Amino acid sequence: MAHPASPFLPILILLLVAAVTAIAILVLSGKVLPLLKPNNPQEAKLRPYECGVPPLQEGARHKYSVKFYLTAMLFILFDVEAAFLLPWAVNFKHALWTFAAMLSFMATLLVGFIYAWGKGAFEWER
């Protein structure tokens, strides 16, 4: 009688194929691709390019408005809310303790939302 295959055999095969593919890409890109493409760097080609706009020459010490950071923090606040609500909604098994935990989480976020609203964080221009 044959020994049954391990349930992890497909995962091992996938890892081996991924490792061989990665190594082959690295080897071929270093040896084959330079033969196929010309190497003629020019000043215009070596300059940074960002979204069709020439980069600013004022350096990396550009000052951002506080509104940028407030918007980022509000995004993180409500993004985390969505990230916690989705798995809970999918796996809700009518357990009272999970419902109570989610209600306390939502109440905490609601307090943060009301505070941000009261401070005018959602007004783009004042």
Residues 52-107 have pLDDT tens digits of 666 666 666 777 777 778 788 888 877 877 777 777 777 766 667 777 777 888 88
Nearest to 74 by CA among 116, 126, 119: 116
Determine the 3-state secondary structure of 58 from DSSP: coil
Cβ–Cβ under 8 Å, residues 105 and 84: yes
> pLDDT (tens digit, 9 = 90+) per residue, 9-48?
999 999 999 999 999 988 887 776 667 777 777 887 777 7
CA angle (90 as vertex; 86, 91 as ends), nearest 5? 120
Nearest to 86 by CA among 105, 72, 67: 105
Q: Show the tokens assigned to 106.
A: 């939502």
Q: For residue 63, give the amino acid letter.
A: K
This prediction's pTM:
0.39
- Cα–Cα distance for residue pair 77/27, rounded to 1 Å: 44
pLDDT value of residue 67 = 77
